[in-house]
Structure 1
Amino acid sequence: MNKYLAFDIGGTFLKYGVISEEMGVLETNKVKTPDSLEGLLTAMKEISHLYKDAKGVAVSSPGAVSEDGFIKGSCALRYLHGPNIKQLMEEQLNVPIFMENDAHCAGYAEFWKGNAKGKKDVLVMVLGTGIGGAVFKNGVLHKGANLHGGEFGYMLLNTAVQNSNDVWSRRASTKALVKEVARQKNIDMASLSGEQVFSMAEAGDKVCLEALDRFYHILAVGIYNLQYIYDPEIILIGGGISAREDLIDNINEKLDGIMEAVDLAKIKPTIASCHFRQDANLLGAVYGWLKERDGCIRRINTKLNN
């Protein structure tokens, strides 16, 4: 049974896991994300030494990941921008590496054996500190001319203010929800979590209930727009919040209200939670490696022979 080492580079943690070719999660762990590129490469090298039997290394990364290994766009880890990250990783680890955007990896996992399997036109959106996503046309990932296909969080929905910087990520991410509740309660945002906001709402906290009502509405507005821009078969929602059993019902309730208000709209978006949650990025990265196996191996062999 072939095994692969997968890394998921996050702003807070560097997750890693051993994944089988049959999509079995054999082992997972995490360490605090290093605060420098040198530290990241060293940590990955030390971890890879523990799994020398891995056939390859797959990496889920923030930012707009180019095929040649540069990370463009923007992300929380500024040190990833500039150098050829994939090349540096392959030089450090001396193994074939596949690297892709984290939301794209989550989408790959859904197409492998998740809720997008067997479908063709699918959008995947991942809610967290921002809103990322992936666009699939005829089952193929669409990255766009500038590698920003699926960056739904950049959408502007606020038409009341000209030249607003109030993008969708800053209005409908879980971070935005926490920030809004902390502002209204006049408390430090660092002392509050998304889980606490939901718990307080369930206990009847008025501020949290009202913030969640707005949160679901703004999510629904963006999803409605995406439906009529692309007309996918389904829109899958990932991220930690997707584990909530009431998420889809609450968004659907807001979508029903929008559909009633917009007399031209006849197609209600079909939404569902992603099947894979905490391991989605690791699994999807390995799926990408398998899809591009020959190219990964050929590239590393060329380097070794030069």
Structure 2
Amino acid sequence: MNNWITGVDIGGTHITVAMVNPEECTLLENTLVRQTVYPNESAAEIMAGWSAAIRACWKLAGLAQAKIGIAMPGPFDYEKGISLIKDLCKYDALYKLPVKALLAEKLGSTETEIRMVNDATAYLRGEMGMGSGKGAGQVLGITLGTGLGSALFRNGNYEDGDLYCFPFRDDLAEEYFSTRWFLKRYKEKKGYSLPGVKELAELCETDTEALECFYEFGENLDLLIRSRYVPEIPTTIVIGGNIAKASSLFFPVLQEKLGPEFHIRKAVLGEKAALIGAAFLWAPTL
């Protein structure tokens, strides 16, 4: 299994690991490990949890060690492996620590065996290699969930996006393109709260206010894309994340507003996209 890379996706509440062959664009399903993480623990406890998940994956693959590609949320110095995450209710204990070096030590490996990338960029890279972005030229990738992620592929290069901190209306864009916006907006309309976007989407057949939330979301997304990327909006837009599971409720208005020259595609790989994209760090042509 010399060509297999350990793909790692680290989120705010989970770590997912699997062996990926970036040259053949395949993921070894029987090595998939998903574990809960507690982002407010100490640095030592976080490293112990991450390393245990990676070792569990290696054990399933029959390996003692392997090269690692990690998709990690920012802000983060991905080249040096130093966390810059602070005051985001996750991983504060890692702030300014050499995360790559600490993890390598815990695994009995070296820093040269670990590469790191922004999670949204990894997500797009995975979709470009094995998902709905395959074959496209200039691509904007957007992830919609508890937060807003973005990345670009243009002129043959991947670029970390900045939509989450882009000024939008009276706040930053993330406040308008995340789960909390839907829940806040619906409560403003109806006077009571729902647990999540899934429950809101299920009401849309009979609840006009719920449907209005998704229509407004689609209009806002069009405005955000135009505000940030005009005059060079990528013609293909790949959208993933948990909110994209309700794509039928806001893709049509987004397509209508953007126009027929743009191709809006729903991401198809789910959480595997970031795993695959992280592993692609070891295959620079992908």
TM-score interval (norm. to shorter): 0.7 to 0.9
- Give 4+ residue runs of structure 1 displaced > 6 Å after superposition: none
**Which 5+ residue runs of structure 2 have no aligned equivalent?**
none
**Residues 123, 277 of structure 2: 8 Å contact kept:** yes
Residues 218-243 of structure 1 show CA distances to partners (whole Å, capped at 9, x for unaligned) of 11211233441433231211112333
Matching of residues 20-169 of structure 1 within 5 Å: 20-21=21-22, 22=24, 23-26=26-29, 27-34=31-38, 35-36=40-41, 37-50=43-56, 51=58, 53=63, 54-66=65-77, 67-72=79-84, 75-77=88-90, 78-95=92-109, 96-142=113-159, 149-158=160-169, 164=170, 166-169=171-174
For residue 76 of structure 1, report the CA deviation from its aligned partner. Answer: 4.2
Query: Given the two structures, how large is their TM-score scaled by the length of structure 1?
Result: 0.78
How many residues in Structure 1 have an aligned counterpart in Structure 2?
267
Letter of the structure 2 residue corresponding to residue 13 of structure 1: H
Match of 1:218 in 2: 220
Q: 1:281 aligns with which of 262, 270, 274?
A: 274
Q: Tell me the SS of whatever aligns to 2:133.
A: coil
SS at match of 1:230: coil
What is the RMSD of the two structures over their aligned residues, measured on CA atoms? 2.4
Instruction: Determine the C-alpha separation between the residues in 2 that align with 1:123 and 1:76.
Output: 28
Give yes or no for contact 2:148–2:178 (8 Å, CA) kept in 1. Answer: yes
TM-score by length of 2: 0.83
Cα–Cα, structure 1 residues 213 and 117, in superposed 2: closer, same or farther, change >3 Å?
closer
Cα deviation, 1:29-62, whole Å, max 9, x if unaligned, reads: 3222123222221012222333151422221111
Partner Cα separation in structure 2 for residue 178 and residue 25 of structure 1:
37
Q: Give structure 1 stretches of 5+ with no counterpart.
A: 143-148, 159-163, 257-266, 293-306
Which of the numbers 161, 172, 176 marks the counterpart of 2:177?
172
Give 1:91's aligned amino acid.
E
Q: 1:141 to 1:80 in 2, by over 3 A?
A: farther
Change (3 A) 1:42 1:200: same
The yes-or-no answer on 1:291 pairing with 2:284 is: yes
Aligned AA (1:69): G
- Which structure has greater strand proportion? 2
Distance of aligned partners of 1:274 and 1:49 in 2 relative to their CA distance in 1, 3 Å threshold: closer
Change (3 A) 1:272 1:205: same
Tell me the residue number matched to 2:190. Answer: 185
Distance 2:261 2:223 in 1: 12
Residue of structure 1 equivalent to 2:197: 194
1:146 corresponds in structure 2 to none
One-letter code aligned to 1:31: Q
Provide the rounded CA distance (Å) in 2 between the counterparts of 1:230 and 1:38: 44
Counterpart amino acid of 1:193?
Answer: G
Larger radius of gyration: 1
Whether the aligned pair in 2 keeps the contact of 1:243 and 1:277 (CA below 8 Å) is: no
The amino acid of 1:248's aligned partner reads F
Percent identity over paired residues: 25
